[in-house]
Amino acid sequence: MMRKCCVTLLVVFVLGTLSAFAGDSGSGSGHFINHNNMVEITQMDDGSSSLVMHYSSVTLADNSSHPSADMAAECVGVMRTNADGSFGSGEGTCFGKTADGDTQSYWWKVDAAGTAACPDMCGSWGYFAGNGKFKGLQGTGTWQRTNVIGDLSWGTWKNSYSMP
């Protein structure tokens, strides 16, 4: 059984900016803001649920020269809950494009939820593709969702990266 609803669930940061250059490397941190555009929930026979999310994300970096500064992206994610309502797993992909047409993409996953160290949701992420000035961009990092209000969620991120 499928039903649509607006549930804010997750996720992460986002993608490239106009200020990354070839041969650049470093680390950074910042904030992300996500808006769920659509969530479809499927109830499984065993009582668990699968949620497919389509959402928009904006990433702000503490340093404007970071590859993930001031970028908007469109994302898709899948979350699973156990029959008792506890968190099961979550992962997804985001795609961003600059005004110049340069793109970068990243994966994300949930590594912890509802623990003493991670009261809401925390996870990892990494770049997997890019073109234009982001061709060859590599890097991984962590994120932590800190707030959820209706269809909005936000939090913090950090990572290290390199450009060939």
Task: Mention every residue, 6+ apart, whose C-beta is less than 8 A from residue 88.
Answer: 48, 79, 80, 81, 82
Which pair of tokens denotes residue 153? 């969620």
Torsion of CA 25, 26, 31, 36, to 10 degrees: 30
Q: Which residues pair with 54 in a beta bridge?
A: 38, 76
Between 11 and 110, where is the model more confident? 110
The chain-wide mean pLDDT, for the chain, equals 86
Stretch 93-108: mean pLDDT: 89
At 7-62, the pLDDT tens digits run 333 333 333 333 445 678 999 999 999 999 999 999 999 999 999 999 999 999 99
Give the model's pLDDT for residue 98: 76
At 62-93, the pLDDT tens digits run 998 888 888 899 999 999 999 999 999 999 99
Give the model's pLDDT for residue 65: 86
Give the model's pLDDT for residue 141: 98
Give the model's pLDDT for residue 14: 32
Residue corresponding to tokens 């990494």: 126
Give the model's pLDDT for residue 81: 95
Torsion of CA 67, 68, 69, 71, to 10 degrees: 120
Give the model's pLDDT for residue 68: 85
Chain-centre distance of CA 17, in angstroms?
16
Please tell me the pTM assigned to this model: 0.83
d(CA 121, CA 145): 5
At 125-155, the pLDDT tens digits run 999 999 998 899 999 999 999 999 999 999 9
Question: Does the structure show a pLDDT above 50 at 5?
Answer: no
At 113-123, the pLDDT tens digits run 999 999 999 99
- Buried b / exposed e over 121-144, threshold 16 CB at 10 Å, is bbbbbebebbeebbeebebebbbb
CB 76 within 8 A of CB 52: yes
CB 73 within 8 A of CB 95: yes
Q: Residue 163 — pLDDT band, cuts 50, 70, 90?
A: confident
Of residues 133, 106, 127, the one with CA closest to residue 20: 133
